[in-house]
Amino acid sequence: MSIAISVHNLTKRYGDITAVDNISFEVKQGEIFGFLGPNGAGKTTTIRILTCIIKPDEGKATIMGHDIEKEPLQAKQIMGIVPEMSNAYIDLSAWNNLMLIGELYGVPKKQRAERAKRLLEKFGLYDRRNQLVRDFSKGMKQRLILCMALINEPTILFLDEPTSGLDVESAKIIREMIVELNNTGTTVFLTTHNMEEANKLCHRIAIINHGKIAAIDTPEKLRVKSSGLQSIEASFDYLVNMDDLAKIPCIKQVEKMGDKIKFYTSDTNEALNRIMDYARSHGLKIITLNTLAPSLEEVFLKLTQIKNGV
């Protein structure tokens, strides 16, 4: 699989603050790549560098082989961009916004009109095409922004928090469209705060914190690799002493959750045996016993908290 986005030692500073600190990663063609991080981690700065809005202080990035500093126009020609905040012209109609962006990407007039019609119909905006964007709801604006990002049929689509603050219907439409576009070969670079969204959509995820990449892998591997976050959930027929449970070797932490007890461990197999031994030795009957992988949210919190020194 060829490389769609290549980033090498990218750095961006604002005065004394290093917003992006020597990051490197690659996104394969046809991938949905998630870029996760807390507020101020460097997600938007990275996306702004990759979309040629700002220049990096150091490092190099290429989009489908085009260096973003040496061949910015060629790189921009094959991108579609959905920013966090709607940036459609509110004094223009939805149709005129699409025509303008089509012209800026050099899409011929006939194709421009055909694509605009198809996209507006697909996103449920065709009936409102002649209405000024200032009268649109947030969800409608975001759907229009997606139409504008797709008018040039991009090879790579950058989405910065595309579903943030949207109604359920608009968010669902956008997620479905991301999957549909990816199925037709579009590479997607997605920043999001929504772990569930990242888990469901992304083939690979990078977690950025304080401008540095904290981890990069598939969602499943990130979860499995996070030692200490794997857990076992058990319930017994009688109340048990939590202090005794905490003393079981290889158990790092014990938490009571209603009638269940959650055991955190780095060795699931050994912990299972020890819990069963404990039940047998204390004459307890095990009602339920489940092994749980950490949620992506837990992985994210763990990785970002480590870097924060928590």
Q: Which of 58, 104, 246, 269 binds another protein (CB under 8 A)?
A: 104
Q: Which of 14, 111, 242, 305 binds another protein (CB under 8 A)?
A: 14
Q: Which of 32, 52, 205, 303 binds another protein (CB under 8 A)?
A: 52
- Binding of another protein at residue 208 (CB under 8 A)? no
- Binding of another protein at residue 34 (CB under 8 A)? no
The site string for another protein over 105-144 (x = CB under 8 A, - otherwise) reads xx--------------------------------------
Q: Which of 103, 114, 220, 237 binds another protein (CB under 8 A)?
A: 103
User: Which H, E and C letters describe 129-161, residue by residue?
Assistant: CCCEHHHCCHHHHHHHHHHHHHCCCCCEEEEEC
The interface region with another protein, picked from 80-88, 178-186, 218-226, 275-283 by CB under 8 A, is: 80-88
In this complex, which beta carbon is closest to another protein, that of residue 45 or of residue 163? 45
CB of 106 to another protein, least distance (A): 6
- Binding of another protein at residue 16 (CB under 8 A)? no
Cβ-count burial of 81 within 10 angstroms (0-12 exposed, 13-18 middle, 19+ buried)?
A: buried
Backbone phi and psi for residue 189, each to the nearest 5 degrees, phi listed first: -115, 115
- Binding of another protein at residue 248 (CB under 8 A)? no
- Binding of another protein at residue 11 (CB under 8 A)? no
- Binding footprint of another protein on the chain (CB under 8 A): 14, 48, 51-55, 73-74, 76-77, 79, 81, 83, 85-92, 96, 100-101, 103-106, 148
